[in-house]
C-alpha cells in the first residue's frame, strides 16, 4: 500500500525502522543511574509509585476482561505469576531504558474474540473459547521474524495503516463492552432496547444515570491524560475504586449494582 501511494505521488509517513539492534540515540544499553544526584533519586519515588499503580491497574483490567465469566474459560489463570513476570520485565526495562510492558487490552481481547465459539442458534451467545497457545506464539514469532528480516518492507508500511488497524480493532471490541451498550441506550427509543442483563430488571432512569456517571469518569481521565496534569493520571485511575464504592452505596443504585456492574 505504501508503494502504491508512492507511485501516484502521495507521500505517507512510514514506520521508522532502525538498521540494527541498537538504542535510538546511540546511548549505552544500561541507564547511567550513578549520574543522578541523590536528591533526584529520592524525588523519583513519588512518580515511581504512581507508575506502579498504573501498571498494576492496567494489567489487572486486562486480566479481568480476558478471564471474564462470559468467556467460560476452563483452564485456570495465574494472576500472581503474571504480575511477577511484569515486575521482572519492568525492572529490566527501567535499567535499560526500554518501554514498560503490560497486558495489551485491545490486542488481548481481539485474540480472545478470534478464538471464541459462538452459539449458531443464539447470535452473540458465547459457548466457549479455544484455549491454546499456538496463535499467541505464532503471532509473536512472525513479528520477531518481520523485525529481524523484513525491516525494509516494514519501512514502506504507512503509519496511517497501523493506526487504522488499531482503530478498527478497538471499534470492533466496543460491541462487547457494557458501557458502550448502555451509552447507546441514551439515544435509544424507550421500548426498543436490545436484550441485556439489565433489561426489564433495572429502571431505565437508573441505567442512564449510572452510565452518565461512568462517562463523566471516563471524560475526566481523558482530560487529565491529555492535559498538563498527565503525570497524575495513575492517581485518577486509583480513585475509580472509591468512586465505584460510593456509587454502590447510593440507595438508587445499590439494589442493581450486581446487574449494572457485573
Cell matching residue 128: 466457549
How many other C-beta atoms are found inside a 10 Å radius of the C-beta of residue 63?
A: 19
Whether 41 and 72 have beta carbons less than 8 Å apart is answered as no
Quick: pLDDT tens for 212-245: 999 999 899 888 888 887 777 777 877 888 888 8
Taking the C-alpha atoms of residue 107 and residue 171, their distance in angstroms, rounded to an integer, is 12
How many other C-beta atoms are found inside a 10 Å radius of the C-beta of residue 85?
A: 13
Quick: pLDDT tens for 39-68: 888 988 888 888 888 888 888 888 888 888
Taking the C-alpha atoms of residue 145 and residue 151, their distance in angstroms, rounded to an integer, is 10
- Secondary structure string (H, E, C) spanning 84-137: HHHHHHHHHHHHHCCCCCCCCHHHHHHHHHHCEEECCCCCCCEEEECCCCHHHH
Check residue 208 and give left, alpha or beta (phi > 0: left; psi -120 to 50: alpha): alpha
Cell matching residue 21: 539492534
pTM of the entire structure? 0.69
Taking the C-alpha atoms of residue 8 and residue 113, their distance in angstroms, rounded to an integer, is 37
Quick: pLDDT tens for 79-123: 888 889 999 999 999 888 888 888 888 788 888 888 888 888 777
Amino acid at each position: 500500500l505504501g508503494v502504491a501511494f508512492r507511485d501516484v505521488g502521495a507521500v505517507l509517513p512510514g514506520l521508522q525502522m532502525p538498521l540494527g539492534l541498537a538504542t535510538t540515540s546511540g546511548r549505552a544499553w544500561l541507564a547511567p543511574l550513578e549520574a543522578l544526584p541523590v536528591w533526584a533519586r529520592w524525588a523519583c519515588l513519588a512518580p515511581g509509585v504512581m507508575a506502579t499503580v498504573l501498571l498494576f491497574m492496567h494489567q489487572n483490567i486486562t486480566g479481568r476482561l480476558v478471564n471474564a465469566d462470559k468467556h467460560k474459560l476452563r483452564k485456570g489463570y495465574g494472576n500472581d505469576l503474571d504480575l511477577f513476570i511484569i515486575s521482572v520485565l519492568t525492572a529490566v526495562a527501567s535499567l535499560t531504558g526500554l518501554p514498560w510492558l503490560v497486558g495489551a487490552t485491545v490486542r488481548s481481547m481481539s485474540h480472545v474474540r478470534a478464538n471464541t465459539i459462538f452459539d449458531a442458534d443464539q447470535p452473540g451467545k458465547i459457548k466457549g473459547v479455544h484455549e491454546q497457545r499456538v496463535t499467541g506464539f505464532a503471532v509473536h514469532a512472525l513479528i520477531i521474524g518481520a523485525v529481524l528480516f523484513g525491516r525494509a518492507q516494514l519501512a514502506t508500511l504507512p503509519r496511517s495503516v497501523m493506526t487504522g488497524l488499531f482503530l478498527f480493532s478497538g471499534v470492533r471490541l466496543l460491541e462487547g463492552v457494557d458501557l458502550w451498550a448502555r451509552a447507546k441506550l441514551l439515544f435509544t427509543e424507550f421500548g426498543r432496547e436490545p436484550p441485556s442483563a439489565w433489561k426489564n430488571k433495572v429502571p431505565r432512569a437508573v441505567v442512564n444515570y449510572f452510565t452518565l456517571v461512568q462517562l463523566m469518569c471516563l471524560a475526566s481521565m481523558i482530560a487529565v491524560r491529555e492535559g498538563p496534569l498527565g503525570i497524575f493520571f495513575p492517581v485518577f485511575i486509583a480513585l475509580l475504586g472509591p468512586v465505584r464504592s460510593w456509587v454502590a452505596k447510593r440507595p438508587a443504585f445499590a439494589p442493581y449494582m450486581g446487574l449494572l456492574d457485573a
